[in-house]
C-alpha cells in the first residue's frame, strides 16, 4: 500500500519573486501557471509545472516570516520537498507513530488548493518535508 505517492513539488526559497519567475521561465521553458500569496506564511508563491511534478518558488513578504528567516540563515535554495498523499491525517498519524517530529499535527490550508502539513527537518536528515493533499 502506498502511503506517499509522488513528489508533488520542490519548494525553492527566493529573494525576489519577479526575478526568479523570469529565471525559472527561461530555465523550464514555461511561464508560471499560478502566483498566489499565502498570508499565514508571509509568502508569495509561484508554481511551474514540470511533468508530473511542480516547482514552487517562495518569496517572503516579511523578514520575520519562515522564508525570510530561512533566507537570512541559509540563503536562497531548496527549502522543502512536498510529497503527495491521499489521506493527510492518516499519514500524519502514521509518521508521528514512527517517531517523526511534526511541525503541524493537523493540516492547514496551503497554496495551490492544498491541505498541507510539515515534518521537522531535525527528524528527516535536515530536509523539511511537506505532505499535501488536494482540498475537497
Q: Which residues bind Zn ion (CB under 5 A)?
A: 11, 56, 82, 130
Nearer to Zn ion, 46 or 97 (CB): 46
Closest Cα partner for 54 from 132, 136, 135?
A: 132
Q: SS3 for 5?
A: strand
Q: Give me the residue whose beta carbon is nearest to Zn ion.
A: 11
| Rounded least distance, CB 116 to Zn ion, Å | 7
Residues 116, 27: Cα–Cα separation, whole Å: 27
| Rounded least distance, CB 115 to Zn ion, Å | 12
Closest Cα partner for 12 from 24, 4, 26?
A: 24
Nearer to Zn ion, 82 or 85 (CB): 82
**CA torsion sign, 132 to 57 to 15 to 125?**
positive
Nearer to Zn ion, 1 or 56 (CB): 56
| Rounded least distance, CB 85 to Zn ion, Å | 13
| Rounded least distance, CB 8 to Zn ion, Å | 8
Amino acid at each position: 500500500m502506498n502511503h506517499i505517492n509522488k513528489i508533488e513539488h520542490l519548494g525553492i526559497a527566493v529573494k525576489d519573486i519577479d526575478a526568479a519567475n523570469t529565471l525559472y521561465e527561461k530555465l523550464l521553458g514555461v511561464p508560471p501557471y499560478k502566483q498566489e500569496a499565502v498570508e499565514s506564511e508571509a509568502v508569495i508563491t509561484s508554481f511551474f509545472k514540470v511533468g508530473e511534478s511542480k516547482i514552487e518558488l517562495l518569496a517572503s513578504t516579511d523578514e520575520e516570516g519562515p522564508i525570510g528567516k530561512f533566507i537570512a540563515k541559509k540563503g536562497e535554495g531548496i527549502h522543502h520537498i512536498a510529497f503527495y498523499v491521499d489521506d493527510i491525517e492518516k499519514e500524519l498519524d502514521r509518521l508521528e507513530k514512527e517517531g517523526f517530529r511534526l511541525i503541524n499535527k493537523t493540516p492547514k490550508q496551503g497554496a495551490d488548493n492544498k491541505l498541507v502539513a510539515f515534518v521537522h527537518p531535525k527528524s528527516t536528515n535536515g530536509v523539511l518535508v511537506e505532505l499535501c493533499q488536494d482540498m475537497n
